[in-house]
Chain A
């Protein structure tokens, strides 16, 4: 699995971008997206997924079930 950002909820504040240890979050024209190929759910870095922990809107950075669970 990887995390994804629910576009309709995201305020575009950008808090998550520098917090991501994998540099998986990028902004394009004000829209923030997580690159599932880079996302490790913060496993091996931190106890909590940083994007979800710092996001001001609940349920905006969520697990994307269409990707297999990350293997550390």
Chain B
């Protein structure tokens, strides 16, 4: 019997009264994310830098690619797929389908035992010094597989104590494992919370398995939301950083996510990550088969912007696989299959890892200085023109990817406040084959159609012409420069051209969020 059975006798009324009690404590103690200043700029979250956070929090997030947008340019994470079982069913999830050319949550190519997983972590850590974070995110639920999850953490902590441990959960079993999470020094937990209202929840979750029963409909959603919020508060009261993931499902919870945002923010969640629904019919999910669409790029951005006044938003999530390896947006898991890992000579070189991290700290300081220097000359006009700029990068915080080689573009919003990361767009080819370069280019334009310009290290004459026709300025003059200073530099030039009358500012349309199978090759 799973250890979840041990709590079977606690009923929901008890939980509620415990929660009310704790709620008071949390509200008094919570000092984490404060919304500061009249501009609605938040002092916390994925976009925050060293100066914005209490030092002990900054220390926890600064090298974590999922918790710090800045870190995600330099540091990598890996997931190990040790947790196949799940205690709930979501309408956007179908774990039966597993195409190796696909990247989305809940999907893996191989399942690992804790022993295999620990060995894989050490192998990856010795090959990729920027790998700082190990997460257990499924393919089921980390806490529906507690023995495997914690055994993996134990083994990794023994051999590689510098690696940060995280887990991701739907929250149903969370209150039962908070003590264990703390005992294993897991200092980042992600809870997927898609609703705080059972009427919304019943459209997302057909059933849950809880207290030896399958619960359906509103009852299921009610238990789930109470357990999620209870778990969130318990984690926060222990000083564990909590990120909340929400899937944006147009027509079902899109408006409601503002309420979810308020609910999780008031309970002390550190960061909110609203992700677009992935619902291709070929994945075989309930939503996919029933034609439920995902949001457009602008719908997603508007919702994230709406919630941002309340709390800082994570916008750099790549919705990666439960066995992903590498920088966000890159997947090197094929290099580390069990077979390959077992054949590898693993040398865990802490000194090499630390040397890399010191070098990254220096680069980050340079990036910050370049950004501030560029920002210094910016006109603080009354009418704040905002434009979106797409950037092709392969990491290191630089404009260093060839336009035609980019698998994704990072999207920055430029305004006289500076350059702000607001998202990313995958543009890799569809898994259909037989389509030529022109179709690929059309796909890129659809994905970045809301941008005024695209910055890359190099671009051919042909795509340059097509982009211009579509109203997107192709720019390769910032090649190998730091991204933020390049974005600000382009923006200053854009303002100058507006002033001179060479340009008139016009809003761009919407863009499409790319779905479907992922080909990293």
Contacts and interface: CB of A to CB of B under 8 A. Distances in A.
A72 interface: no
Interface string A20-32: 1100000000000
Contacts of B336: none
Nearest to B215: A53
A3 B205 CA distance: 26
Decide if the interface of chain A is mainly helix, strand, loop or mixed: loop
B89 A53 contact: no
A35 interface: no
Given A47-B213, A53-B214, A11 B87 contact: no
Decide if the interface of chain B is mainly helix, strand, loop or mixed: loop
Contacts of A11: 84, 95-96
A13 B96 CA distance: 10
Contacts of A54: 87, 209, 214
Contacts of A46: 212-213
Interface residues of B, number: 18
B85 A53 contact: no
A20 B5 CA distance: 11
Interface in B1-35: 1-2
A14 B212 contact: no
Q: Interface size class for chain A?
A: 10 to 19
B378 interface: no
Contacts of A12: 84, 111
A18 B1 contact: yes
Interface of A: 11-15, 18-21, 46-48, 50, 53-54, 56-57
24 contacts: A11-B95, A11-B96, A12-B111, A13-B84, A13-B86, A14-B85, A15-B87, A15-B140, A15-B144, A18-B1, A18-B2, A18-B147, A19-B1, A46-B212, A47-B213, A48-B212, A48-B213, A53-B209, A53-B214, A54-B87, A54-B214, A56-B86, A56-B89, A56-B95
Given A15-B209, A19-B209, 18 more contacts: A11-B95, A12-B111, A13-B84, A15-B84, A15-B87, A18-B2, A19-B212, A47-B212, A47-B213, A48-B212, A53-B209, A53-B212, A53-B213, A53-B214, A54-B209, A54-B214, A56-B86, A56-B89
